[in-house]
Chain A
Amino acid sequence: MQLRTRIAVTFLLLLATVLAVALTVVSHTNRQNAAHALTEQLQSGDKEFHAVLDLNVRLLRLAARVMADDAGFREAIADRDTETLVSVLENAGTRIDAPMVVLTALDGKVIAASGSRAAIGQTFADPTLFTRRLDGEGNIEPNDTVVVEHGRIYQLVAVVINNPLPVAWVVMGFEIDQKTAQELKDITGLGVTLAIKSGTGWSDVVSTEPGTQGPRSRAETRRIGLPDGPAATVVVTLSKSFAAAMLPFDRLTEYLYWIAAIALAVSAAAAFILARNITRPLQNITAAVDQIRAGVYDAPVVMQRRDELGSLAEGIQVMQSAVRSRDQSIRRLAYEDALTGLMNRAAFNTRLEEALRAGGDGVAVAVINLHRFRRINEHLGYTVGDAVLKTIAARLTAGPYPVGQVARLAADQFAAFMPLRATDSLQTWGATLLVRLSDPIVVASQPIDITATLGLARSPADASSADELLRCADLALERARREKRGQASYEPAMKPAERDQLSLLGELRQAVDNDELRLFFQPKVELASGRIAGAEVLLRWQHPTRGLLGPGAFIPFAEQTGFIRQITRWTLEQSLACSAVWLAAGLALPLSVNVTVDDINDENFHLRVANALARHRLPPSLLTLEVTESGFIDDPARAIAMLDALAHLGLHLSIDDFGTGYSSLSHLARMPVHEVKIDRSFIQGLESDAEFAAVVRSAIDMGHSLGLQVVAEGIETEAAARRLTEMQCDVAQGYLYAKPMAQAEFERWLEHRPRVPVPPAARTLTTAAPGEGKTLMVL
C-alpha cells in the first residue's frame, strides 16, 4: 500500500472510530434521555391530567351548581311526581349538556334518574359521592367520581340542592368521550386511553390512539385510576411511544450523522491532501535519490519547506554534494595518479583514444621505464622514491617544448603521447623525452642516478587503437631494454615473436637438445689500426619452421623463464669448443660471450666457467664475458664478488650496454672489469646530437681513466667510426665492419685480415690459479 493511502486510511479509520464511538454514546445517551424524558413527561402528564380533570370537574360542578340553584329546577325537584322529575332532570341535562342526571336523596338513594338506568330507591353509584363535608365557610363540599354505564364512562358531579335547606343531590354525568380524551391529549401531549374492566381484562372505551395495537411497555405508559370508588373499574392510560419520545433525539442523531458524514468527507479530502503533501515531497526526494544513484548530481533537491521533509531534502542535498565530491575524488583516483598528479593508465587510454579519434597525421606514444627504480625505493626509502617520481613527472610535463600528454602507468613506468605531423620524427620526440630525464635527480641534496628507456610507437603506422599503440610501445620498450638502448621504435617484426613466446619454452628446450641454436660471430675492430681484436658471440636460432631467429625473439623469454642458464651454458660450451678448435688451428681469437644476471647470481658460475675452460684447454684470456650493467643492480656486492671470482680465473670481463644502466663510478671502479661497451643508442645519436657525443666522449674518457678498454657497438657509418677514433675509443663493432656471421662465413671473413696479436700467455692453456685447481678437479 502506498504511504499516502496508508496515512489517509489510518487517519480516516481513526476518525471513523472516534465518530462511531461518539455517535454510539450520543445514541445511547439519547435513548436514555428519551426514556427519562418519557418518564418525566408521563409523570407530568399524570399531574396535568389530574389538573385538567379537576378543572373539568370544577367547570362541570359549576354548571351543575347553576342548574341546581335554578328556582324552577328547585321547585320542580320538590315535586314528588317521578315522571315530572325525570322530565325536569332531562331538561336540566339538556341545558348543561349532561347526558346523565340523577336525583338522589341526601343519603344517596335514587329519587329519579335521566339517562341512567339507576333504580329508584337504590344508592346511586359510589356512596362516597354523597358524603357531605363542610368547607371553611360551612358549605357542603361536593364530591365527584366516575361511573361506567352502557359501556360509557361518565364523570359524575354531585351538587346538593338547597331548597333552601339541603334536600337532595343532583348528580350530573358528563360523558368522557373521544372529544374529552382528545382535549386531554392536546393539553398533556400524551395519548389518552380510557379502559373499563371487562371481565378479567380491560377494554378500551375511549382512546386517542386508536391505531395503536398491542400492549405498550410499562415505560411508555402510565395508568391512572379514576375515582370511581372501590370498584376501580376505570383506568386511564397515558401513553407515548418511545419512538415519539425519540423523535427530537432522532433529529439530533440525524444531524450528528450528517455532521459525521461531512466531517468524514472533509477529513478524507484533508487526509489525502495532507498525505499527498507528505508523500509528494517524498517522491521528489526518492526521485532525487534515484538520480544520485544514477550518478547525476546536479539535479537540485530543493524544497521550500521548514518541516522535517525540508530538513530531509536539505540533508539529501548535502549528501548529494558530499557524494559528488567523493565521486569526483574517486574519479580523480581512478583517472589520476595520486602521487604525481598525472593521468593514470585508464585516463591515458581514454585521452589517447580521443586523440586517435581526433584524426590528424597520427599520434606518437612513448612508454618510459625507469631502470632499477625498485632499488631506489629499497635503498633510499619510499620518500626518496616518491620524490624521484614526482621530479620525473614534473620534468616530463614541464619543459621548453611540449611533449604531449604524460601519464604514469605503473610504479616506474610513465607514458606520453603527442600528435605528430607526418614529417615529425618519432625518434626525435623520444630523444627529447629522454633528454629531459638525463639530468641527475637531486633529492635532499643527494644526487640520484636514474636512467630511462623508451619504447615508441606511432599511429596510424603501427596501430590505430590506444591499446595496440601502447602494446607496440611496450614491445619497443622491451626491445630497447633488451638491446640496451635508450629508446626503440616499434617494428612490425617484434609482434609475432612476442606473440609466439608461449610455445617458445618447449621449442627452446628442443632447440638446445637438437642443436638448433647457432653461434654467430661479429668482429670487434681495433679502431686505431683496423685490426681484428676479437669477436662477440651472438646466438641465432635455426628454427625448424620459422627460419633463422635473432636473439630478440627468444633471449628475453629465456631470461624471464630462467632457461637462459642452459642457453648460456650451451653458448659458453660451444664458444669455447669453437675457440679451442681455432686455437688448435693457430687462430687465437678472443671471444666475447654474453652472460646474464641469472648467471652472475649463480654462485657456482665461476666454477662452471673454469671447468669449461679447463675442459677445452683454453687460456682464460681468450674468453671475455659481457655482463650488462643491470646485472649489478639487484645485488652489487654479490655481483662484484662473482666478477672478482671470474676475474680471478684470468678471463676478461666487459660491461655491456654501458651508459644505460645504473653504473656509478664508484661501482665501476671497484669492479674487476677490463672493458666497457658503450650502448648503441649513444653511438647512433653520436653524429646528430652533441649531447650524446659528449656522453660518449665522457664515457670513453671515464673508461680510460679507470684503465679500461672502451668498446663502441652499433657503428654503422664511417663518420661515427671517425668520431670514435677521434675520441680514442679503443674498439668498435658494428655493421660498418661486419654483421654477425655464422662460423664458416666468419672464418672466411677472417682470412687475410690483420688481427691484434694475442699475448703468448693466452696461447697456451692457463694453469688454474692456486686454490682453484681443486675445484677444477671436482668439476
Chain B
Amino acid sequence: MRGAARATRGADHGLFTTLCLCMGLAMGLVVGRAGAATVTVTLNVAATSVGPAQDAVVVLDPVGVVPPPARESVVTIDQVNKQFLPQVSIVRTGTGVSFPNSDQIKHDVYSHYVPKIFELKLYAGRPTAPVVFDQPGLEALGCNVHDKMRAFLGIVDSPYFAKIEHLSRTGSVSITVPAGRYSVHVWHPELAARVTPQPLEVRADAAALSFDLDLSGIPDPKAAWPWP
C-alpha cells in the first residue's frame, strides 16, 4: 500500500478517496465473509449555527473484541491553496500521515497538543517522512504561518469508521462490520460537546441507526471527540 500510496503521489483527491473506499470495501468483504453485516448510520443535523460544511466522522468501536491489527499504511493530508485537504481525516492508530505541500509557498504544519506534538518547520514539497500517529485522539493541525489553515485528524483504534463528506441537513454512510457488539460514535468539527455513543448489536443482517446532531453551539471539537 505504501508503494501504491507512493504511486498515487500527486494524484488528486478523488483518486485517493476511491483508494480508501476500495480498501474499506476489501476489509468489509473480509469481515463479512466471517458473518459480516452492513451498518448504515444516518446523521440528521437538528440545528446548526452556520451550517455544516465539513465532514462528519462515524466510528464503530467494537466492544470486548480486539480488532485485527492494522497494517502499515500512509495517509496523505495535502496542502492546496492554503488549505489542508482534506480538512477532516480519520485514521487507525499507527497510521503515518504524509503532509505534502502542493502550494508554491511554504507551510509550517504543527500540532502543539496531544496525542502527537510535532512540527514540520517551514517547508515546501513533500517532507522526507510521513508523521506516524500511534496514539488515538483528535489531532488539530495548523499552519504556523497561515492561521486560517486548519485540519482535524482523528486517530482511532477501531478499524471501522467512515466519513460523511460535506454533511448538510442529513447524510448517511454504511459500514460493513463483523457481527458483534459495537459502540457507535459520531463526531463533527462543529459540535460543541460529545455526542452520546449508541450501542449496537450487529448480527448477520444489516443494521441501521441514526444520530441527531446539534451544531448550534460554540464548536469545541476537542471536547466533542468521543474519546478523552
Contact = CB atoms under 8 A, between A and B. Distances in A.
B214 interface: no
B145 A71 contact: yes
Interface in B73-124: 108, 110, 112-113, 117, 119
A163 B142 contact: yes
Interface string B123-151: 00000000000000000111111010110
Interface in B143-194: 143-145, 147, 149-150
Interface centre among B143, B145, B147, by most A CB within 10 Å? B147
Contacts of A77: 112
Interface string A574-590: 00000000000000000
B9 to A, nearest CB: 26
Interface string B210-228: 0000000011111000000
A167 interface: yes
Nearest to A163: B112
B50 interface: yes
B216 to A, nearest CB: 9
Contacts of B49: 134, 138
Interface string A523-564: 000000000000000000000000000000000000000000
A164 B143 CA distance: 8
Nearest to B151: A164
Contacts of B110: 75
Nearest to B53: A138
Contacts of A69: 147
B82 to A, nearest CB: 13
A138 B147 contact: no
Contacts of A132: 218
A3 B84 CA distance: 107
A75 B119 CA distance: 10
B13 to A, nearest CB: 21
Contact of B144 (A71, A133, A166): A71
Interface string A362-405: 00000000000000000000000000000000000000000000
Nearest to B110: A75
Interface centre among B110, B119, B150, by most A CB within 10 Å? B110
Contacts of A75: 110, 112, 119, 144
A262 B144 CA distance: 79
Contact of B222 (A133, A137, A165): A165
Contacts of B142: 162-164
A162 B147 contact: yes
B147 A167 contact: no
Nearest to B112: A78
Given A138-B219, A165-B222, A78 B117 contact: yes
A15 to B, nearest CB: 77
Given A138-B50, A138-B219, A78 B145 contact: no
B50 A167 contact: no
Interface in A130-155: 132-134, 137-138, 140
A168 to B, nearest CB: 11
A164 B149 contact: yes
A77 B113 CA distance: 11
Chief secondary structure at chain B's binding surface? loop
Interface centre among A69, A71, A74, by most B CB within 10 Å? A71
Given A71-B108, A75-B112, A132-B218, A165 B140 contact: yes
A163 B147 contact: no
B98 to A, nearest CB: 19
A106 B113 CA distance: 15
- Report, as a range, how many residues of chain A touch the other chain: 10 to 19
A132 B218 CA distance: 7
Contact of B112 (A74, A137, A138, A166): A74
B122 to A, nearest CB: 10
A74 B218 contact: no
A133 B218 CA distance: 7
B144 A74 contact: yes
Nearest to A132: B218
A492 B141 CA distance: 174
Nearest to A164: B142
B222 A164 contact: no
Contact of A164 (B50, B117, B141, B219): B141
A165 B218 CA distance: 12
B144 A163 contact: no
B218 A164 contact: no
Nearest to A71: B144
Contacts of A165: 140, 150, 221-222
B113 to A, nearest CB: 7
Interface string B12-46: 00000000000000000000000000000000000
A522 B119 CA distance: 198
A105 B1 CA distance: 42
Given A134-B218, A140-B218, A164 B108 contact: no
A77 B141 CA distance: 16
Contacts of B218: 132-134, 140
Interface string B63-75: 0000000000000
A166 B147 CA distance: 12
A164 B150 contact: yes
Contacts of A71: 108, 144-145
Contacts of B140: 163-165
A397 to B, nearest CB: 146
Contacts of A163: 112-113, 140, 142
B51 to A, nearest CB: 10
Given A78-B117, A138-B50, A164 B147 contact: yes
Contacts of B149: 164
Interface in A144-186: 162-167
Contacts of B150: 162, 164-165
B113 A167 contact: yes
B145 to A, nearest CB: 7
Nearest to A138: B50
A399 B219 CA distance: 158
Interface string A49-73: 0000000000000000000010100
B200 to A, nearest CB: 29
Nearest to B141: A164
A165 B113 CA distance: 10
Interface string A331-351: 000000000000000000000
Nearest to A133: B218
Nearest to B84: A164
A144 B106 CA distance: 36
Contacts of B108: 71
Contacts of B113: 78, 163, 167
B95 to A, nearest CB: 21
Interface centre among B117, B142, B150, by most A CB within 10 Å? B142
Interface centre among A69, A138, A163, A164, by most B CB within 10 Å? A164
A167 B150 CA distance: 14
A230 to B, nearest CB: 23
Contacts of B50: 134, 137-138
Contacts of B141: 164
A71 B142 CA distance: 10
Nearest to A68: B147
Contacts of B221: 165
A78 B143 CA distance: 15
Contacts of A134: 49-50, 218
B137 to A, nearest CB: 13
B107 to A, nearest CB: 12
A163 B119 CA distance: 12
Contacts of B220: 106, 166
12 contacts: A71-B144, A74-B144, A75-B119, A75-B144, A134-B218, A138-B219, A162-B142, A162-B150, A163-B142, A164-B150, A165-B222, A167-B113
Interface of B: 49-50, 108, 110, 112-113, 117, 119, 140-145, 147, 149-150, 218-222
Given A134-B50, A137-B50, 11 more contacts: A71-B144, A75-B110, A75-B144, A77-B112, A78-B112, A138-B49, A162-B150, A163-B142, A164-B140, A164-B143, A165-B150
